A and B are shown apart, each in its own frame.
Chain A
């Protein structure tokens, strides 16, 4: 009799333990995918961007952390991309056009970072910028200086790039970096209105 009671209680305990584990593993059943997980983490636990110096395609260097007195709208691209990066480029163009003159470049800057170190040199980045009429004052195009820097960046932002034949597939997103250098928002690649709605009360 008491043996069965203990057996029953053990089953309940194991059930509760398993349920709790699954709950912890999914941020309270909110994030079942890695993409949702990093968005929840960015909203609730924003982390500072790594201190990495990038090569500006228009010459000179660009310190990721030093852009930090403004809001930085950031994405990772490669110029040979015909899918997500094209959408991202168009989204950035729309954000650029929607921002008031006194905000653009002053309170909010745009930054596209390539992850294709082999093919994307300064020329190709500038060409990408031209394709989307990037305003040179406000929309920076940059590449990491080394593979190590790139890997650090991608790991920090949890960008996963996998080859798909000739192309790359990557979890594209629009990142919003706060003036205090923390990544506070991760948005879909076409979520222009969402990004603007986030920025408007803050700039």
Chain B
């Protein structure tokens, strides 16, 4: 018998794909980019957690540092975030299903199987780069004079840009807080030189 936790991933996927939620999220640029796509990846991650232990061992042997998984995830997610592919995913049924399949199988599941192996340095670089990307993309969407997606309105593009700038700002604040105050949960009486304690920091990441 599988534990109830094992059904969270498949359940999330089923809700995302088989219910009217899919159309509702895809009807808006923000729902599509910032909610549906991350949730599809998350569903894959959760599914990976409940896969047989042997798979996880096999993935670990194949991808010692989690870099293959990371690369795969980045390429697949970037592919589907290209405006023309967002359009295709909404306007062409085949592309829409391809998006779901690849985001779960080639992004979410590899991420769930290998992400915990990523070295601390890579996680740090990812976090900082990701924050920078939020600012860059947010600015691009905010300032674009024309619609980037044929399936979405210009006004939404502006809101999306602002939201991404906001998320970037939150992420930047978190980085600064981590640098200034150290990882959360650290006891105040501990010596300052422990603020870079590897395991704590990697927990925070």
Contact = CB atoms under 8 A, between A and B. Distances in A.
Contacts of B147: 35, 169, 171
A160 B91 contact: yes
Q: From DSSP, what is the main secondary structure of chain A's interface residues?
A: helix
Interface stretch (A14-22, A70-78, A117-125): A14-22
Contacts of B201: none
Which of the four size classes fits the interface of chain A? 20 to 34
B84 A18 contact: no
Interface of A: 7, 10-11, 14-15, 18, 21-22, 25-26, 31-37, 158, 160, 162, 164, 169, 171
A26 B153 contact: no
Nearest to A155: B91
B12 interface: no
Interface of B: 63-65, 67-68, 71-72, 74-75, 78-79, 82-85, 87-88, 91, 146-154
A124 to B, nearest CB: 25
Contacts, number: 65
Contacts of B146: 35
A7 B64 contact: yes
B83 A32 contact: yes
Given A18-B71, A18-B72, A171-B150, 20 more contacts: A7-B63, A10-B68, A11-B71, A14-B72, A18-B74, A21-B79, A22-B78, A25-B79, A32-B82, A32-B83, A32-B84, A32-B148, A33-B83, A34-B149, A35-B147, A36-B84, A160-B151, A164-B153, A169-B153, A169-B154
4 closest pairs, A vs B, by CB? Answer: A18-B75, A160-B150, A34-B84, A34-B87
